[in-house]
Amino acid sequence: MTELVRNYIDGQWVEAKSGATFDSINPATEEVVAPIVKSGVEDLDLAVQAAKRAYAKWRLVPAPRRGEILYRVGQLLLEHKEDLARLMTQEMGKVITEARGDVQEAIDMAFFMGGEGRRLLGYTAPVEMPNKFGMALRDSIGVVALITPWNFPIAIPSWKSLPALIAGNTIVFKPASDTPKLGAEFVRIFAEAGIPEGVFNIVLGPGGPIGNAIADHPDVRVISFTGSTEVGYDLYARAARKGKKVSLELGGKNAIIVMDDANLELAVEAILWSAFGTTGQRCTATSRLIVQKGIRAKLTEALVARTKALKLGYGLDPSVQVGPVVSARAREGIHEYVQIGKGEGARMLCGGEMTGDESNQGKGYFYKPTLFDNVTPNMRIAQEEIFGPVLSIIETEDLDSAIQINNSVAYGLSSSLFTENVNAAFRAIRDLTTGIVYINHGTTGAEIQFPFGGTRGTGNGMREAGQTALDSFTEWKSVYVDYSGRLQRAQIDTDEVLKD
Ligand code: NAD
């Protein structure tokens, strides 16, 4: 049995106060990856108190010095990239090439945010009185709590922790209970990089009790949450009663639109990658294909052939294209949606079956990549997030109706258009109401230097990544310095200025 994975609180690896544990399971083999401490409210409180104590010093460390620690984090992530990627494939199932990409995103973020240590830009502006100076600064906030999902187990914690730290906050991190070991390994990198005791704490265990305690805790000032819309909105409401700042990144129901003039081969590659990469379990995954009438038959035929040929299996084998879904429970949820689709009158073209790894006695939570045709925009499979390898094909007349269908869901994360017509592309950029828009590329593949997030039910208007990430973890402080030596009343003594 592998070693127990512990919480990291105040610079120490410690067991949960209750002594309870649970197992992290490999979804491809159903083997135990590691036993994990099962924390409760008491552990969370210890972590918050440690973070609160550490904040007093960390906020005063000059940001360029904080940035140097982040550069070391980037370097260490690079050195451990392969180990972390392999652990990711084992703990949550994504294939090894994608797991490497997940770690790479954190490396990119570490160097980007390390650089912010010498920016964290505020601004000055002219003031209306003589001998007076004004400036606006970004200020740290205090203890921030990070709650993350399992589907990008290194990248998403990096999007949150790196901007939070560079801005001078301290952290309590609660990773998903499906990827706790990865969460702990991520924190270990920061400890190795020299992050001071108490600045970065991790509490492992079930979301409900710990999440509620985070929302209620008076010393947690900010919550940055990525996960399902249902859990996110409940947390938001609960935290609002305590006046906390909350950043939400929630579900998606993303579409690729393919016009008659599109490059067909390119569209097929992009659709397969966006719909079935990470087994469809990305918030940006394509789950709707809105296709213009003239190209529909050819595109559908090519997609069915290529989807049936996808190789499923344990993602450590580099020839495998589609890994398992994260758990038996997730697989059941996906299968239920497939039954709903059939019941709604959509035509299943392939997939729709639970399966296992044939080379390993049928073990693992695999699901065959599934295509539905004859889907209409109002069907539940065209409106609700399935979070699995299921793609619904919706026929459309023209660009206007395609855009209207794209915008008609409760989520607004990512959308994409395939066309060779530049006028159509720019109209789509203007009219698609999602936080991310791609032209001639699928709905996945965001880069860390741009804002990431979505409209409507995908969040609450906040964005991650880029410099915008700092908005969640800083508050503006406006500073006025009057060196006139007399009382100068803004908005009142303005005429005096002209007399002087
Ligand atoms: P989830 O909502 O079940 O869990 C997310 C996190 O919340 C986990 O750490 C979980 O332990 C915790 N949690 C559970 N109950 C809680 C509670 N009552 N209070 C506080 N925290 C609680 O989501 P998931 O299944 O881990 O992730 C999949 C979802 O995440 C999908 O909906 C996906 O679209 C979304 N997602 C969104 C983005 C984005 O940036 N928009 C990125 C990745 C995933």
pLDDT at 55: 98
User: Is 378 within the bounds of a domain?
Assistant: yes
Residue recorded with tokens 């409209």: 455
| Residues written for the chain | 500
User: pLDDT (tens digit, 9 = 90+) per residue, 373-394?
Assistant: 999 999 999 999 999 999 999 9
Ligand 1, atom 4, lies closest to the CA of: 227
Ligand 1, atom 12, lies closest to the CA of: 207
Closest C-alpha among 235, 205, 288 to residue 7: 205
201 and 59 in a single domain? The answer is yes
Confidence of residue 498 (pLDDT cuts 50, 70, 90): confident
209 and 271 in a single domain? The answer is no
Q: What is the mean pLDDT of the chain?
A: 97
- The radius of gyration of the chain from alpha carbons, rounded to an integer in Å, stands at 25
Check pLDDT > 70 for residue 500: no
Query: Please, how many CA atoms are within 13 Å of residue 241, restricted to the half-sphere of its CB?
Result: 10
192 and 235 in a single domain? The answer is yes
* Atom nearest to 149 CA in ligand 1: 26
Q: How far apart are CA 332 and CA 183, in angstroms?
A: 26
281 and 244 in a single domain? The answer is no
User: Is 484 within the bounds of a domain?
Assistant: no
Ligand 1, atom 26, lies closest to the CA of: 149
User: Is 450 within the bounds of a domain?
Assistant: no
Residue 188 C-alpha to ligand 1 middle, in angstroms?
Answer: 23
Domain harbouring 123, CATH code: 3.40.605.10
pLDDT at 495: 83
Over residues 357-361, the mean pLDDT reads 93
Q: How far apart are CA 213 and CA 164, in angstroms?
A: 20
User: Is 490 within the bounds of a domain?
Assistant: no
Closest C-alpha among 195, 253, 193, 255 to residue 396: 255
* Atom nearest to 177 CA in ligand 1: 11
User: pLDDT (tens digit, 9 = 90+) per residue, 254-275?
Assistant: 999 999 999 999 999 999 999 9
Over residues 473-477, the mean pLDDT reads 98
* Atom nearest to 330 CA in ligand 1: 25
pLDDT at 159: 98
Amino acid at 239: A
Closest C-alpha among 52, 51, 40 to residue 210: 40
Structure token pair of residue 118? 């010498």
Going by C-beta distance under 8 Å and a sequence separation of 6 or more, which residues neighbour residue 19?
Answer: none
242 and 265 in a single domain? The answer is no
Active site residue 350: no
Residue of 147, 204, 284 to mutate, ligand 1, most atoms within 8 A of C-beta: 147
Residue of 22, 91, 150, 231 to mutate, ligand 1, most atoms within 8 A of C-beta: 231
Check pLDDT > 70 for residue 427: yes
Q: How far apart are CA 210 and CA 40, in angstroms?
A: 6
389 and 425 in a single domain? The answer is yes
Q: Which of 439, 469, 495 represents a domain boundary (last residue)?
A: 439
287 and 213 in a single domain? The answer is no
Residue of 24, 105, 228, 452 to mutate, ligand 1, most atoms within 8 A of C-beta: 228
Cβ–Cβ < 8 Å for 207, 176: yes
pLDDT at 496: 78
Query: What is the domain count for the chain?
Result: 2
User: Is 239 within the bounds of a domain?
Assistant: yes
Cβ–Cβ < 8 Å for 400, 239: no
Residue 341 C-alpha to ligand 1 middle, in angstroms?
Answer: 24
What residue ranges line ligand 1, CB within 6 angstroms?
A: 147-152, 174, 176-177, 207-208, 211-212, 226-228, 231, 234-235, 249-252, 283, 385, 387, 413, 454, 458
249, 385, 395, 464: which is the annotated catalytic residue? 249
User: Is 318 within the bounds of a domain?
Assistant: yes
Confidence of residue 499 (pLDDT cuts 50, 70, 90): confident
Amino acid at 430: R
Give, rounded to a whole angstrom, the gap between the first and last alpha carbons of the chain.
82
Going by C-beta distance under 8 Å and a sequence separation of 6 or more, which residues neighbour residue 322?
Answer: 95, 276, 279, 310, 311, 312, 313, 366, 369, 389
274 and 179 in a single domain? The answer is no
Domain harbouring 271, CATH code: 3.40.309.10
Count CB-CB contacts under 10 A for residue 378: 10
User: pLDDT (tens digit, 9 = 90+) per residue, 236-259?
Assistant: 999 999 999 999 999 999 999 999
Ligand 1, atom 13, lies closest to the CA of: 207
Q: How far apart are CA 307 and CA 368, in angstroms?
A: 9
Q: Which helix (H) or strand (E) holds 392?
A: strand 390-396
238 and 258 in a single domain? The answer is no
Ligand 1, atom 40, lies closest to the CA of: 249
240 and 301 in a single domain? The answer is no
User: pLDDT (tens digit, 9 = 90+) per residue, 327-350?
Assistant: 999 999 999 999 999 999 999 999
117 and 43 in a single domain? The answer is yes
User: Is 395 within the bounds of a domain?
Assistant: yes
- The percentage of residues in the chain with a pLDDT greater than 70, rounded to a whole number, is 100
91, 185, 283, 464: which is the annotated catalytic residue? 283
User: Is 499 within the bounds of a domain?
Assistant: no
259 and 241 in a single domain? The answer is no
Residue 151 C-alpha to ligand 1 middle, in angstroms?
Answer: 9
User: pLDDT (tens digit, 9 = 90+) per residue, 156-194?
Assistant: 999 999 999 999 999 999 999 999 999 999 999 999 999
What residue numbers bound the domain in which 36 lies? Answer: 7-250+459-478
